[in-house]
Amino acid sequence: MTTTLFIVQLINGLQYGLLLFLIASGLTLVFGVMGILNLAHGSMFMIGAYLAWYFVEHTGSFGVSAVVSAIIALLLGILIERTLIRHLYRRNHLDQVLLTIGMIFVFNALQSILWGNDPLGVAVPELLSSSIPLTDILEYPVYRIFVAIFCVFIAIVMYYTINKTRLGMLIRAGESNREMVECLGIDISRLYTVVFAIGVMLAAVAGVIAAPMTSIVPGMGEHILIACFVVVVIGGMGSIKGAFIGALLVGLVDTFASVLVPQLSSMMIYILMAFILLLKPQGLFSS
| 286 three-state secondary structure | coil
Looking at residues 132 to 171 of the shown chain, list those that interact with other proteins (rule: CB under 8 A).
133-135, 137-141, 143-144
Selected from 262, 278, 279, 281, the binder of other proteins by CB under 8 A is: 262
Q: Is 121 in the site for other proteins (CB under 8 A)?
A: yes
What amino acid occupies position 20? L
280-to-6, 268, 272 alpha-carbon distances in Å: 29, 18, 12
Measured in residues, the chain has a length of 287
Residues 246, 155: Cα–Cα separation, whole Å: 13
Residues 243, 248: Cα–Cα separation, whole Å: 8
186-to-139, 142, 173 alpha-carbon distances in Å: 52, 45, 10
Closest by Cα among 205, 149, 206 to 11: 149
| 1 three-state secondary structure | coil
Residues 228, 42: Cα–Cα separation, whole Å: 8
Q: Is 179 in the site for other proteins (CB under 8 A)?
A: no
Q: Is 219 in the site for other proteins (CB under 8 A)?
A: yes
Selected from 120, 230, 248, 272, the binder of other proteins by CB under 8 A is: 120
* Span from 3-11, 43-51, 169-177, 191-199 in contact with other proteins (CB under 8 A): 3-11
Q: Which is nearer to other proteins, 160 or 270 (CB)?
A: 270
Selected from 40, 49, 124, 201, the binder of other proteins by CB under 8 A is: 124
Selected from 97, 148, 241, 258, the binder of other proteins by CB under 8 A is: 258
Q: Is 175 in the site for other proteins (CB under 8 A)?
A: no
| 141 three-state secondary structure | strand
Selected from 45, 192, 256, 285, the binder of other proteins by CB under 8 A is: 256
Binding site for other proteins (CB under 8 A): 2, 4-5, 8-9, 12-13, 15-16, 112, 116-121, 123-124, 131, 133-135, 137-141, 143-144, 213-220, 223, 254-256, 258-259, 262, 265-266
